[in-house]
Structure 1
Amino acid sequence: MSVHEAGQSNSYLFRGNLELDPTWPDPAQQLTDAVKAGLRPGKIGSVYADTESTGVIVTDDGESREERLFQVGASLLLDHVGIALTTPSDAWMPHDLRGRAQHAVYTANAPRLSAALRDLSEALNSETDPDDPTHFGKPTETGVENYYDEDGTASDVWTSFEIPRRYSVFRHAPGFGHIGYKRSVKGIVQYAPVRAGHGVLGYLWASDAENGASFEPRDLDDDETYRVSLSWLERLASAYDRGLSPSQALAELAGLDADHKPDVIELDRLRELAGQG
């Protein structure tokens, strides 16, 4: 939950995660009391709160319990109150994000989302107002629609948008490039492979000349591989915070010593190498 200070673009009177006691008879009052206890003095500009919930998806193999299946957010600005329901699942769509038909999954799940939207609308006494389309689907008053190509086939938006987005995390530093090592440089870099259970996970690289270092993954299609790859960015961030140069960070994280020097290569060529799988 966050309470923004009026007239300040990035100032909070309160910001934090709250865990409510389910045994309390009035959750709203419990939430109000918790915020008031930690609220700084100042004029309130806007208030935002959200909660995530676990849910069950019907699959071809039965049922799957999904963490963070839904997020419900509430915002207050001046006299305007908004309630938003978001979901990261494609189980409500006739085709999955790769454009593959999933008739049974859609038939089982889509009516459940429609019912949830209808119930929210009735409970809030407000019409459902679909948000703007995202790269992955088009919200409607009753669910989510796929995108379709000119030939009528469902679009593979996963490959078109999600995979490039994942790779961009490893190639563009946060904070407009001012936080941590640069994640893209020109020319030669030192590099070392990072191995996992099934071979090379990716490559650590470093450039002292441009204060750059990052991890170049080989495959980000799998969620677990993506998660593990992100952990190498966290390790590089820790090395930066400890004041290590890019080459020092590379040597430490790759376990290199005086007898094991990193190889060198053009960064563009290294990325081509990683992209070959």
Structure 2
Amino acid sequence: MITTEPVGEWFWEPSPVLDAAVSGAARAVALVGEVRDVLASLGLVSDGGTGSVELCELSAMGRPLFERSGVPLDLLAGQTSGLRLLPDQHLTVALRLPGEWVEAGVRRRAEELFVVRVHLWGQGGVILVLSAYADPWLTQDLRERPQPEVAADNAPRLAVALERISALTGSEVDPGDETRHARPTAYGFADLLAEGAAYADSWGTFEVPARWRRLVKLLPGGYGEGDYESATEEPVRYAEVRCGERLLGFLWASADGAAGYEPRSAAGDEAFGAGVPWLLRFRAVRRSGVGALEALEGCLGRTEGRWAVGAAVHRAPSLDALAELSGRG
């Protein structure tokens, strides 16, 4: 299962940058690139990924003096070449990385499997953070189903990555706090089959509502009385939403008058934006008295911008089953 919040995080504290004002930004960019190379050497990340840069005053965190996002790694250095980090400032360089894992002999991919962040303070202090956004390293998936074979195929590579990053930075790894999903350790994650999970069905309990809140924020006026019901206990009919060959999500409706959109987590940010025009179309036709199933039929084969709804209708036994389908690699 793929998440929008980290399944786990790990921290390192490399040696301070002595001339942070002059070379701090360059060192931060170099470090995220070096960590990316470690992950790539183990087959954990694949080509692509985008970086971001944010410079703030320590007294006004959250109000950037300088920021860039969506920058390819090979262009990050150019974006930061003119930055001079003053003693009372803080720089964050982050790299969002697509990656792959093995499941039942098949390679799966997510557009944001790892995020690498370097925090650099003007006085020279450095913190490196690695965040993971899926569960193939766990002996039990986020819906509490045992998956020891999946963990056996993937967890050893993550353990080696953590060890190599420690060697790269010259510092010991500090596992982050237990999350809603799992407990990070110095070698990866604790064995959930032995220890048990902190929450039952953490993906359904926390991730599905978090995805919905993220989607609603993109809708003008949010989601309310003018929209179809967003939940149902009935089976659902659904159609695929794509950009070219990329599957981004599922537009759905049910016989009891509910309808909505499930973003495919593995597709990354675009999966959320791709649902907006169709939810707005649902809103418009509902105001005209059109039923949910008819609204779905009216979207079949249509295109909005670069996003197209397939012409075929599929069936899922429940909305929960469709949400799970959308949350897998």
| Superposition TM-score tier, normalisation by shorter sequence | 0.5 to 0.7
Residue 121 (structure 1) aligned with residue 166 (structure 2)? yes
The letter for the 2-side match of 1:181 is G
Residue number among 197, 206, 223 corresponding to 2:239 in the alignment = 197
Q: 2:22 corresponds to which residue?
A: none
Q: CA deviation at 1:73?
A: 0.9
Greater RCO (CA < 8 Å, at least 6 residues apart): 2
- TM-score, with length taken from structure 1: 0.61
1-structure distance, mates of 2:153, 2:251: 39
> Which secondary structure state, in structure 2, belongs to the residue aligned with residue 57 of structure 1?
strand
Contact (CA 8 Å) 2:100, 2:109: kept in 1 or not? Answer: yes
Residue number among 94, 99, 120 corresponding to 1:50 in the alignment = 94
Residue number among 160, 163, 185 corresponding to 1:140 in the alignment = 185
Matched residues, percent identical?
24
Q: CA deviation at 1:121?
A: 0.7
> Which secondary structure state, in structure 2, belongs to the residue aligned with residue 53 of structure 1?
strand
Q: CA deviation at 1:144?
A: 1.7
Residue number among 107, 125, 129 corresponding to 1:63 in the alignment = 107
**1:149 to 1:216, Cα distance in 2 relative to 1, 3 A:** farther
Q: CA deviation at 1:80?
A: 2.7
The letter for the 1-side match of 2:119 is S
Q: CA deviation at 1:44?
A: 5.6
Q: CA deviation at 1:154?
A: 8.8
Residue number among 64, 67, 82 corresponding to 1:15 in the alignment = 67
Contact (CA 8 Å) 1:74, 1:83: kept in 2 or not? Answer: yes
| Bigger radius of gyration | 1
| Equivalenced residues, count | 224
**1:9 to 1:50, Cα distance in 2 relative to 1, 3 A:** closer
The letter for the 1-side match of 2:283 is L
**1:105 to 1:60, Cα distance in 2 relative to 1, 3 A:** same
The letter for the 1-side match of 2:107 is E
2-structure distance, mates of 1:49, 1:65: 24
Tell me how large the CA RMSD over aligned residues is. 4.6
**1:167 to 1:148, Cα distance in 2 relative to 1, 3 A:** farther
Q: CA deviation at 1:146?
A: 5.7
5+ residue gaps, structure 2, are 1-52, 231-236, 241-249, 292-317, 323-329
Residue 166 (structure 1) aligned with residue 211 (structure 2)? yes
Once the two structures are superposed, residues 79-122 of structure 1 have per-residue CA deviations (whole angstroms, 9 ceiling, x without a partner) of 43110111112111111111111121111211111110011111
Q: CA deviation at 1:55?
A: 3.2
2-structure distance, mates of 1:56, 1:143: 16
5+ residue gaps, structure 1, are 23-29, 204-214, 240-247, 264-273
- TM-score, with length taken from structure 2: 0.53
